[in-house]
Amino acid sequence: MIPLLSIRNLTKKFGKQTILHPFNLDLEQGKVLTIIGPSGSGKTTLLRCINALEIPETGSVTLGDRELQFNSKRKPSSTDLIALRQKTGMVFQSFELFPHLTVMQNIIEAPVVVKKTNKSEAIAKAEQLLMKVGLADKANFYPSELSGGQKQRIAIARALAMDPQLLLFDEPTSALDPELVGEVLQVIKQLAAEGMTMVIVTHEMKFAENVADTVLFMEDGKIVEQGPPQQLFHEPLHPRTRIFVSRVNDYVI
Ligand SMILES: Nc1ncnc2c1ncn2[C@@H]1O[C@H](COP(=O)(O)OP(=O)(O)OP(=O)(O)O)[C@@H](O)[C@H]1O
Ligand SMILES: [Mg+2]
């Protein structure tokens, strides 16, 4: 089967420091990859390279039928970068909602402004998405009037409003009070059940195990081990993985 996402020999440096060593990854449509690893191992940088928020030094990112090649001589065109970003929704640790816009305005902003979707169509779709994340009654609220868990569910609805082929999550629950974590994980689990292709960076180990088709453990910008959740969490092949998974505690959903 041809993967939806394919990363080949991706490298990224900040200054002289190499953050991602030649990195290779394939993800099939409808599959969920969770990424775990210590702080500073390059997880956020990898996600940001996948949707070209950071421009890698070398390598390629292929999403569906579009391949973006990176090298020092030639940068991809802005048209290609924008196309990749539009097909790749991103959900951040800190929500990144527009504080001066209502929930509805936050959700329809990109479809109306970037995709030129007709406004009433965008509103109808946003209403469906709000129902999906359990917040149909919050359309006219401002982000400051919502809990962290609600804000994150709105951020997910906003990402879905662009009909992404791939959703990227960067520690979607780590800014939340523990009692709000479950409601966000539940929405992500539902998306997984519906067949959304996702890459999720998380410190919630039980969740990483439960939701994933494949788990990837990375350290120092390299893949240490990847495989089915049962392998990574219960029968790791690499001693470093064993140490990492044995010392992280957890939230059970
Ligand atoms: N914009 C930047 N400029 C310079 N160095 C950066 C930048 N962003 C990240 N780094 C460095 O790259 C390395 C990897 O950072 P990254 O944020 O990708 O790690 P991470 O695995 O997401 O960590 P955490 O679990 O703490 O979020 C770190 O050493 C960090 O200091
Ligand atoms: Mg990070």
Query: Torsion-angle region of residue 67: left (phi > 0), alpha (psi -120 to 50) or beta?
Result: beta
Q: What are the pLDDT digits (tens) for 100-148?
A: 999 999 999 999 999 999 999 999 999 999 999 999 999 999 999 999 9
Q: How far apart are CA 167 and CA 185, in angstroms?
A: 14
Q: Three-state DSSP class for 36?
A: strand
Q: Which of 19, 23, 201 to mutate to test the pocket of ligand 1 (most atoms within 8 A of CB)?
A: 19
pLDDT score for 249? 52
pLDDT score for 251? 42
Nearest to 25 by CA among 41, 39, 7: 7
* Ramachandran angles phi, psi of 63, nearest 5°: -125, 120
* Ramachandran angles phi, psi of 4, nearest 5°: -75, -45
Ligand 1 pocket check for 249: Cβ under 6 Å? no
Ligand 1 pocket check for 41: Cβ under 6 Å? yes
Does 253 score more than 70 pLDDT?
A: no
Q: What are the pLDDT digits (tens) for 136-186?
A: 999 999 999 999 999 999 999 999 999 999 999 999 999 999 999 999 999
Q: Whose CA is nearest to atom 10 of ligand 1?
A: 14
The answer to whether the CB of 69 falls within 8 A of the CB of 61 is no
Quick one: pLDDT band at residue 243, thresholds 50, 70, 90?
Answer: very high
pLDDT score for 143? 98
- Averaged confidence pLDDT in the chain: 95
Q: Three-state DSSP class for 201?
A: strand
For the whole prediction, is pTM greater than 0.75? yes
Ligand nearest to the CA of 36: 1
Ligand 1 pocket check for 34: Cβ under 6 Å? no
Would you give the DSSP letter of residue 245?
A: H
Q: What are the pLDDT digits (tens) for 198-220?
A: 999 999 999 999 999 999 999 99
pLDDT score for 72? 83
Would you give the DSSP letter of residue 190?
A: H
